Amino acid sequence: MSGDYDLDLFVIGGGSGGVRAARIAAGHGATVAIAEEFRYGGTCVIRGCVPKKLMVLASRFSDDFADAAGYGWSVGAPTFDWRALVAAKEREITRLEGVYRTNLEKAGVRVMDGRAVVEGPHAVRLLSTGEVFRARHILVAVGARPSLEPEIPGGELGITSNEIFDLPEQPRRILVVGGGYIGVEFAGIFAGLGSQVTMSLRGDKLLRGFDEDLRDRLGAAYARKGVALRFGTTLERLARDADGAIAARFSDGSSGTFDRVLVATGRKPNTAELGLETAGVALGAGGEIIVDGYSRTLVPSISAVGDVTNRAALTPIAIREGHAFADTVFGGTPRMVDHEIIPTAVFSTPEIGTVGCSETLARQRTGEVAIYETAFRSMRATLSGRDDPVYMKLVVDARSDVVMGLHVLGRDAGEMIQLAGVAVTMGATKADFDRTVAVHPTAAEELVTMRTRAR
């Protein structure tokens, strides 16, 4: 700690990015405090990745029961208890929250509860006690929140991903507004749990920005599962029925009745009323904090990492940015995070794993692109005859032979893409894939056995 300051670092926000930065900075010998206004672990642990994945896993048992019967098992009519799932999920995230807090304390970080706001380039106020701390550096890691926009009549009847994890009852009929990854994942969860699912989205396909073949095939798989897809529509109004249900009207004149309406149309950085403007921190048009490659704002003593900077809103990115910040400022090793190649999964059912360029983007970036692709039914579903599609695609720069993109739809796609992501990050060529011996019989072996160029 130096001279006029109480602390070397004050971290605002106890989520993925803030917690990592605080622990690493403390490990480098800095005196660090962190404040969290809700629950330690942040969005990912409390109301994002972790509870979402638990619910995805729960939803897939319906397929597993169907497959089991195909293998000779006699399975009685399975029943599902939503409240039991919510309670089990709550126990697990409470455990994780405790782990986060303990790890911070073990690292020597001063852990505070309550909202913190910036009061100057070196000053942070903890609102729960009114205390003001003078810190040599301030790290803003406050994340983002779901936005309920656009505002429509009856919009307050909708809920967001913040509320969905703790609903008292499983909705029998649910409308999901928005076709991004969060909307797609919850549609898959509730379809698997047996709810009637309707999706309303402005575009003509799910998952804008993803490879077109993934988008087409996921849409087709969802339609076959019975998800009602209303493409090219926006929600115009919601109203409460006499019997307590929610009546929805859409822009194409159609309507529907639902028990719950999940609005998953986007997220906004948590920068409102944080005191950033008074300290001179510049915000972008969407409220995100503008930073350079080292996560520095225009104010030298204030940095920002994670969703609040709207670079790539994913937990591993927030963690890397937090870690790189701490190494740069307190560890004497300046590091930037590469946002170019990001392997990622969408936990829809069927699942998606993707890394690198979509075919469309590859065609824009390079002269000639070679596409290799394969589609089949997963082996697991062959005996049950269940619909369980698998699709794989390699996008290759035809001149250099470098694999620019790799896309998988199907069971365990997320697990596959983590490993395939190593090869793509290393700049592997198609020839490298070809000389890799297949692991047989697996689905992933198809990634190294595609020999015929599709286009």
Q: Output the furthest CA–CA distance in the chain (Å, rounded).
A: 73
Query: Any long-range contacts for 120-123 (C-beta under 8 Å, 24+ apart)?
Result: 120/278, 120/279, 121/279, 121/280, 121/299, 121/300, 121/301, 121/302, 122/5, 122/301
Whether 440 sits among the annotated catalytic residues: the reply is: yes
Question: Which of residues 56 and 396 has its CB atom nearest to ligand FAD in the complex?
Answer: 56
Shortest reach from residue 359's CB to ligand FAD, in Å: 24
Spatial distance between the Cα atoms of 145 and 128, rounded to a whole number of angstroms: 21
Question: Which of residues 314 and 396 has its CB atom nearest to ligand FAD in the complex?
Answer: 314
Question: Which of residues 26 and 308 has its CB atom nearest to ligand FAD in the complex?
Answer: 308
Shortest reach from residue 37's CB to ligand FAD, in Å: 4
Please answer whether residues 12 and 140 qualify as being in contact, where contact means their C-beta atoms are separated by less than 8 angstroms. yes
Please answer whether residues 395 and 358 qualify as being in contact, where contact means their C-beta atoms are separated by less than 8 angstroms. yes
E strand intervals along 246-338: 246-250, 255-258, 260-263, 267-269, 302-304
Question: Which of residues 113 and 432 has its CB atom nearest to ligand FAD in the complex?
Answer: 113
Residue 11: which of 39, 42, 34, 38 has the closest Cα? 34
CA geometry: angle 325, 326, 332, nearest 5 deg = 100
Spatial distance between the Cα atoms of 454 and 332, rounded to a whole number of angstroms: 49
Spatial distance between the Cα atoms of 260 and 165, rounded to a whole number of angstroms: 13
Residue 160: which of 183, 194, 180, 141 has the closest Cα? 183
Shortest reach from residue 211's CB to ligand FAD, in Å: 18
Shortest reach from residue 433's CB to ligand FAD, in Å: 26
CA distances from 220 to 216, 240, 384, 436 (A): 6, 32, 20, 32
Question: Which of residues 128 and 255 has its CB atom nearest to ligand FAD in the complex?
Answer: 128
The residues of the shown chain that bind ligand FAD, judged by CB under 6 A, are 12-18, 35-38, 42-44, 48-49, 52, 115-117, 141-143, 161, 182, 270, 274, 306-308, 313-316, 318
Shortest reach from residue 349's CB to ligand FAD, in Å: 14
Question: Which of residues 223 and 422 has its CB atom nearest to ligand FAD in the complex?
Answer: 422
Residues designated catalytic: 440
